[in-house]
């Protein structure tokens, strides 16, 4: 069964009927006419860009903060009069 792309209650390809199945999920759409419309292509592009943005934000924020906290914990857990690198707060020994 062919699944059409639904936009604002209408099918992107322009077909009309009571028994046509439609979906807003881009991966489920099988109608070639719907897939070839500008609305479908723009929705696909927006979905892809949003996924890229979230993956970039997750990597940079996680790696920038994570190494610093791990390094602080490692140095503070060491026995003896160890010091933190310059620029870190509350340096007990310099």
Between the alpha carbon of residue 5 and those of residues 18, 46, 78, 94, the distances in Å are: 15, 15, 60, 65
H or E stretch covering 23: strand 21-23
**Can you give the pTM of this predicted structure?**
0.57
More confident residue, 48 or 86: 48
pLDDT band, residue 73 (cuts 50/70/90) = confident
pLDDT band, residue 67 (cuts 50/70/90) = confident
5 DSSP 8-state letter: E
pLDDT at 37: 94
Residues ≥6 apart with Cβ < 8 Å to 43 = 5, 26
Q: What is the pLDDT of residues 28-39, one digit of tens each?
A: 999 999 999 999
In contact, 52 and 45? CB cutoff 8 Å: no
Query: What does pLDDT average to over the chain?
Result: 81
Average pLDDT over residues 18-33: 91
């Amino acid at each position: 069964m062919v699944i059409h792309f639904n936009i604002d209650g209408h099918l992107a390809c322009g077909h009309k009927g009571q028994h046509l199945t439609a979906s807003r999920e881009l991966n489920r759409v099988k109608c070639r006419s719907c897939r070839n419309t500008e609305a479908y292509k723009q929705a696909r592009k927006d979905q892809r860009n949003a996924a890229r943005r979230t993956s970039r934000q997750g990597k940079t924020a996680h790696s920038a903060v994570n190494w610093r906290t791990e390094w602080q914990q490692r140095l503070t857990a060491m026995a003896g009069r160890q010091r933190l690198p310059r620029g870190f707060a509350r340096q007990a020994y310099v």
